[in-house]
Amino acid sequence: MPSPSKIALVSGLAVTAGIFFGGAWLASGMTPETSDPLKAQTALNATPTPAPDADSGAQTEISYGELEITVTGARNTNGRIIILVFDKAAAYDAYDYENAAGYAELDAQTAPMTHTFSGLSADAHAVILFHDENENYDLDLVEGYPVEGYGTSNATSAYDELSFQQAVVEPGSISVKIHYLE
Amino acid sequence: MEWAFKTLSEMEISGLEEWIGAWFFYISFAFLAFELIRYLVLRKLKWSMIGDTITNYLTLYMFLAISLVLLAGLYVSAYVYAAQFALFDIDVNWATIAICIVLADIAYYWEHRFMHRVNLVWATHSVHHSSPFFNISVAYRFGPMDGVWPIFFHLPLVLLGFNPFVVLLAELLVQLFQTALHTEAVRKFPKPVEWIFNTPSHHRVHHASNAKYLDANYAGIFILWDRMFGTFVEEDEKVVYGLVKPIPEINSPSRMLAAPFAAFFHGFWRLGKNVLGARRLGDAWMYAFGTPEWTPKEKRDSQVHAAE
């Protein structure tokens, strides 16, 4: 029948607090960059691209720094599709279009639309787009919920809220679907 | 090791939590069947054991009804609200989930110790300990207010920066690990396992009413915390399960139906009787917030006289 003393109880709680803070601090350092610091560095700071390889450059259809985006799923042809390409997590998190790496407006079509961003300087980008049906340059919300369509690279449903790291795509061809909540 | 640091979404986490919880419940039924057949073969199966098993699941449903109606929404919204004050920015990936599970296990240790050492809280947790048997169905035997206390002990993890849904997943995993220990079918694991992990042997001690086993082995996953904080006791004599003051047995068939309710509410019934029947205000306070072994002065004196 163990009956630990008051001192044992208090020091036990103090040790617990120490383990809690230490554990949380340790966990705060464990991000996707932990396993691959170089790649993350490139993605987050958008360091300049290395010089294109002259030998292999001729053989690939899409050269380094180009992102071909196919937009699908528009429900009508009203208004336009606004596409934002980000190479910085902070800009992506804040929907900061002034610090976007790429911006495009397409006339809305229900058939797949394609747009190519060239001259991108990073090797990882996250794409956000939305269907601006009433042409007010805003994703309209009613009671906090979007009433216009939207999409993010790598998202699989309207409920996916991806972090920059989750939404990142490499240069090449990608497809982004427009999701509608209603 | 790249997979360990890949960011996971909240949807993946809460989906995983639901999936694990549900499958564990189904598998526990298969395990219960195995245990009952084992008792049958050993000629230890009794009708009272089967009745007790039914009581266990009925308390589970009463507990779930109370928890889902009163607590679930409060729980999640308190966590999500607290998350905005987080101290550290912690990513959601398998590495941080692993750390969160270890910390949630320590949080559980203190929560569990608290539930045993304060009468008001013991009133609900004593339901879990009131079974005179020890099989996996006992793990699902809950008291009316068992859902209230975890929040206070795990909220600090959210405030430190762990994602609310990761904390909920970690709480579940600690709980399920311990659930699996409610069995007599496993005697002892190899020494190193018994030294580090909570095991059926350690948890049998926790469920004992033997004097030398009281208030010991509060652990969830790691028994290390009991060793560190001075509450560890090794299993070396035969365990008598249940409460020091058992719930009176119901023998007449006409009153059998009352058994699950007697088990579910007996803790609060005793608490209310003690607090309302106290002679002094100080006694009422101790009956509510003191330790379960506390008794008023007159009783202590009369016990001493009786012993003489």
pLDDT at A46 over 50: no
Rounded percentage of chain B residues whose pLDDT exceeds 70: 98
What is the per-residue pLDDT for A54? 44
Residue A58: predicted pLDDT: 43
pLDDT-derived band at A160, boundaries 50, 70, 90: confident
* pLDDT, tens digit (0-9, with 9 covering 90-100), for B194-211: 999 999 999 999 999 999
Any chain A CB within 8 A of the CB of B13?
A: no
Q: Under an 8 A CB cutoff, do A20 and B157 touch?
A: yes
Q: What number is the average pLDDT over the span B182-189?
A: 96
pLDDT at A165: 83
Which residues lie closer than 8 Å to B48 by C-beta, 6 or more apart?
Answer: B132, B249
Does residue A61 have a pLDDT over 70? no
- Overall average pLDDT of the A76-86 stretch: 93
What is the reported pLDDT for B256?
A: 77
- Lowest-pLDDT range of A4-8, A58-62, B112-116: A58-62
Residues 6+ apart with CB under 8 A from B167: B79, B100, B104, B154, B157, B158
Looking at CA atoms only, how far is residue B94 from chain A in angstroms?
A: 10
* Listed range (A55-59, A132-136, B163-167) with the worst mean pLDDT: A55-59
pLDDT of B227 > 90? The answer is yes
Determine the average pLDDT of the residues in A86-103: 88
Q: Please, which pLDDT band fits residue A148 given cuts at 50, 70 and 90?
A: very high
CA of A39 vs chain B CAs: smallest distance (Å): 12
* Nearest partner of A182 among A128, A113, A136, A133, judged by Cα: A133
Length of chain A: 182
Whether pLDDT at A49 is above 50: no
The average pLDDT across B208-215 equals 95
Q: Is B102 at the interface with chain A, CB within 8 A?
A: yes
What type of residue sits at position B119? N
Q: How far apart are CA A78 and CA B82, in angstroms?
A: 42
CB A20 within 8 A of CB B156: yes
pLDDT for the residue A144: 80
Whether residue A60 has pLDDT greater than 50: no
Instruction: Check CB contact of B156 with chain A, cutoff 8 Å.
Output: yes
pLDDT at B306 over 70: no
Nearest Cα residue in chain B from A23: B99
Mean pLDDT value across residues A37-43 = 47
A66: pLDDT strictly greater than 90: no
Pick the residue from chain B with its C-alpha nearest to A10.
B229
Contact of A2 with chain B, judged by CB distance below 8 Å, is answered with: yes
pLDDT score for A36:
54
Task: Reply yes or no on whether the pLDDT at B151 is more than 70.
Answer: yes
Average of per-residue pLDDT across B258-282 = 93
Q: Say if residue A127's pLDDT is above 60.
A: yes
- Band (A34; pLDDT cuts 50, 70, 90): low
Spell out where A6-101 has E strands. 67-72, 80-86
pLDDT of residue A43: 47
In whole angstroms, what is the distance from residue B195 CA to residue A54 CA?
Answer: 62
Report CB contact under 8 Å: B7, A165.
yes
Q: Do B11 and A163 lie within an 8 Å CB cutoff?
A: no
Three-state SS for A125?
A: strand
Please say if the pLDDT value at position B161 is more than 70: yes
**Mean pLDDT of chain B, nearest integer:** 92
* A31 in reach of chain B (CB within 8 A): yes
- Predicted pLDDT at B305: 64
Q: Would you say residue A64 has pLDDT above 70? A: no
- Helix, strand, or coil (residue B121): helix
Q: Quick check: A1 and B216 CB within 8 A?
A: yes
Dihedral over Cα of A131, A134, A137, A138: its sign: negative
Determine the pLDDT at residue B187.
95
Q: Is the pLDDT of residue B60 over 90?
A: yes
| pLDDT score of B168 more than 60 | yes
Is A176 within 8 Å of A127 (Cβ atoms)?
yes
ipTM: 0.89
